Amino acid sequence: MTIKNKRVKYYFLILFLWGLLPGLSHADRIKDLASIQGVRSNQLIGYGLVVGLDGSGDMTTQTPFTVQSIISMLGQLGINLPPGTNLQLRNVAAVMVTASLPAFSKPGQQIDVTVSSMGNAKSLRGGTLLMTPLKGVDNQVYAMAQGNVLVGGIGAAAGGSSVQINHLGVGRISGGGIVEREIPTTVGQGEYVNLELNTTDFSTVHRIVDAINGIYPSAATAVDGRVVQVRAPADNSQRIMFISRIESLDITPARAPAKVIVNSRTGSVVMNQAVTLESSAVAHGNLSIIINTEPVISQPGPFAQRGETVVTQRSQVEIRTDEGNLMLLPNGADLGAVVKALTAIGATTQDLLAILQALKAAGSLRAELEII
């Protein structure tokens, strides 16, 4: 087997395990499926300078905004440079600083910040971010950031004497931001609290309403396919306890719609358990695929008091190549088994993408095909 084929098989060995598992129902907490409306984080942004670089900073002749920032900073510190001074600095870099301000953050709390070069600096490794105000969408300062920039590595080089750096232009400061202003956060509107599902699903909304009303009768009402309105106590402390109990309730979410996700850049293909195939025939290069679907009828026993006739579809897949290779998959084969068989006989990533698109266009792939 060639190295290329081994790489393709490696991609799909892990990614298709979930799609090949049988459909087992499981219970999730409501807090894993929904969030409280209004309780969210807020994005912050700021412009600053990183100093102390080892000759890897911006080339000031090509990034005039870096020089302007340095002159402005020195002026605020009481240092006035003579007019026409030409600064040739290589240890300074202009950066954008971003952070996420969590809900209910109080002044004095620390948050993580990300520092990204916006000039032509070669590396931010070993630099120090100077005090940078972080503003919200309303242009108000909500946090201040400062500290040593950490540029992460991805492992040691041969011999363990050095570290290979993943990306030199972006670093992170853990706890480098200090909250200066609180953003008011209200839990609910009036006597109601709204639960927002992470994904729109009418069936899951119905199950959440039933679960809540089973403990607190007539407390929950479905607004639409994403929002559940719940009547909550007016007292704030009681409301917090009420929400904690609601979030801890277990429900079985509805089965997700059939979907196949294809990453055309990495060759990854991921599918869920609801993907099915209909009868079809595909010819691609030296590959020929024939999918036959036949009904399977299950009837109750002759003396059974209860029961009904159930009709299911069963697929049989036959894959051939020009070299005479034949692979016949058993009845009940799904798309995961088809892809696994294709990689086993040497199909490339591009072959898989083309075949999936052809199956979708022909209507044989009963799933939404999303290419990212």
CATH of domain 28-39+186-251: 3.30.1360
Reported as half-sphere exposure (CB side, CA atoms, 13 A), residue 192 has a value of: 15
Q: Record the tokens describing residue 337, joined without a space.
A: 């088994």
CA distance 169 to 165: 10
Q: Record the tokens describing residue 240, joined without a space.
A: 């917090």
CA distance 321 to 286: 5
Percent of the chain with pLDDT over 70: 69
Stretch 69-83: mean pLDDT, rounded? 86
**What band does 149 get if pLDDT is binned at 50, 70 and 90?**
very high
Average of per-residue pLDDT values in the chain: 78
Task: Please state which of the ranges 90-99, 186-195, 213-222, 328-337 shows the lowest mean pLDDT.
Answer: 328-337
Query: Is 108's pLDDT higher than 90?
Result: yes
SS3 136: coil
| Residues with Cβ within 8 Å of residue 56, at least 6 apart in sequence | 90, 93, 121, 122, 123, 124, 125, 168
Query: Is 148's pLDDT higher than 90?
Result: yes
Return the domain boundaries, the chain: 3-24+257-371, 28-39+186-251, 42-179
Burial 302-312 (b: 16+ CB within 10 A, else e): eeeeeeeeeee
Which pLDDT score, from 0 to 100, does residue 310 have? 52
Stretch 50-73: mean pLDDT, rounded? 88
Strand partners, 251: 28
Count the residues in the chain. Answer: 372
Give whichever of 44-53, 54-63, 71-80, 236-245 has the largest mean pLDDT: 44-53
Stretch 104-127: mean pLDDT, rounded? 93
Query: Is 164's pLDDT higher than 60?
Result: no
| Residues with Cβ within 8 Å of residue 363, at least 6 apart in sequence | 278
Question: Cα separations (Å) of 187 from 145, 234, 246?
Answer: 29, 11, 14
pLDDT tens, residue by residue, 311-362: 555 555 556 655 545 454 444 456 666 676 666 666 677 777 777 777 777 7
Phi, psi of 366 (to 5 degrees): -85, 70
Task: Please state which of the ranges 46-50, 86-90, 242-246 shows the lowest mean pLDDT.
Answer: 86-90
Task: Please state which of the ranges 90-99, 141-150, 214-223, 340-349 shows the lowest mean pLDDT.
Answer: 340-349
Q: What is this structure's pTM?
A: 0.66
Which pLDDT score, from 0 to 100, does residue 24 have? 46
